[in-house]
Amino acid sequence: MPLPSDAGRSPVVGAANTQARRRGWGATLETWNEKMHYYSGLYLLLFIWLFSFTGLVLNHQWEIHNFWAKRHESTFTQKVQPPVDSSAKARAEDLMRQLHLRGEMTLPDSPAQPGRFDFRVYKPALLTDVRVDLQKDEATVHQIRTNAWGLLEMLHTFDVEKRGNSQAPRNWLLSKIWCFTMDAVAVGLILMVLGSYYMWFRLKKIHVLGWISLALGFVICGFFVAGLNWLYRMR
């Protein structure tokens, strides 16, 4: 038996089917939006707590922040085999293997002095300054260790992007993992904010307070992004 054509259907039935499909898509979107909030919130929970707490410590300079005064410094010298590689990055990696150092290696911006080769190795809570005398085949290693509060601050300021230093891109596995994790945190926060906008507009019948909050956020953020620069130029 042939099926009835669309032209033979009642306009009321067609409109009802269209509304049902729209409700179905809306219900699916809301379901996935809720799941995204649940699971991204669970992933972001400890990161948000970590950066919120350490941000308060840094912003108010609480006593527990005074980790630099409690740092431990040590220096030792060690004979090394002179690196034969031509690139500075390869030479630094060779010396790191000889000195049993791990971390994110950074090369100096200024040209090396004749007969010397210097670089630094960064790890949270550990800064290592390496100065190599190529004539004596000797490396002087100066290390600065901080406590757990120093580690938390370095997580805020840990620079693994190496801006302007193409000779030494990210070379430490943990720094690559940290960058990927921070990207995931940023994407998760963006998705949660977008999902919150959707839920606010979709579920609320009166949006006055929402619009006020949104406008206030834009104004304050715009002040810090553009307003401070404008005030600085006006001085």
For CA atoms 223, 224, 225, 229, the dihedral sign is: positive
Count the residues in the chain: 235
**pTM for the structure as a whole:** 0.56
Cβ atoms 64, 71 nearer than 8 A: no
CA–CA separation, 144 and 3 (whole Å):
81
- At 127-140, the pLDDT tens digits run 899 999 988 999 99
Rounded CA separation 169/83 (Å): 20
CA–CA distance from 119 to each of 23, 70, 80, 101, 163 (Å)?
A: 62, 25, 15, 12, 16
pLDDT tens figures, 18-37: 555 556 666 777 788 778 77
Give the residue, 145 or 210, on which the prediction is more confident. Answer: 145
Tens digits of per-residue pLDDT, 98-123? 999 988 888 887 777 888 899 999 88
